[in-house]
Amino acid sequence: ETGVTQTPRHLVMGMTNKKSLKCEQHLGHNAMYWYKQSAKKPLELMFVYNFKEQTENNSVPSRFSPECPNSSHLFLHLHTLQPEDSALYLCASSQAASMSDTQYFGPGTRLTVL
């Protein structure tokens, strides 16, 4: 398998549920990112990890908790979400966390919070 993969592709959850999104990159990259893509809004950077260390938290609410156990895997743990958190969550990776490096995106997880 190549590129950046994300699972699940679709997720429906209630506000009291706990779920996790998974991202895996097969490109040998050292940096990984979570983005939120909402309808009618620009893509928003949420978190950046560089060599497994979090280097950016873009004022994301604590109900979103990222985890990066190694350079190939990135998780986004979700708990007590709100309906306005419904969006497409995109994972990306790049060779390093220099933003001039090309970022490769996964297909995203479409999240619906009821």
Partner 1 sequence: AQSVTQLDSQVPVFEEAPVELRCNYSSSVSVYLFWYVQYPNQGLQLLLKYLSGSTLVESINGFEAEFNKSQTSFHLRKPSVHISDTAEYFCAALQGGSEKLVFGKGTKLTVNP
Rg (CA), the chain: 13
Using CB under 8 A, which of 57, 82, 102, 112 touches partner 1?
102
Contact, 32 vs 71, CB < 8 A?
A: yes
Least distance to partner 1, CB of residue 18, Å: 25
Interface with partner 1 includes 28 (CB under 8 A)? Answer: no
As a residue count, the chain comes to: 114
- Is 66 near partner 1 (CB under 8 A)? no
- Our separate counts of H helices and E strands in the chain read 0, 11
C-alpha–C-alpha distance, residues 6 and 107, integer Å: 7
CA triplet 18, 52, 32: central angle to 5 degrees? 75
Q: Is 97 in the site for partner 1 (CB under 8 A)?
A: yes
Contact flag: residue 22 with partner 1 (CB under 8 A):
no
Q: Which is nearer to partner 1, 16 or 42 (CB)?
A: 42
- By CB under 8 A, residue 72 contacts partner 1: no
Q: Indicate whether 112 belongs to the interface with partner 1 (CB under 8 A).
A: no
| Minimum separation from the CB atom of position 104 to partner 1 (A) | 8
Query: Closest Cα partner for 112 from 20, 25, 14?
Result: 14
Give the residues lining the site for partner 1 (CB under 8 A). 4, 6, 40-45, 48, 55-56, 58, 90, 92, 97-100, 102-108
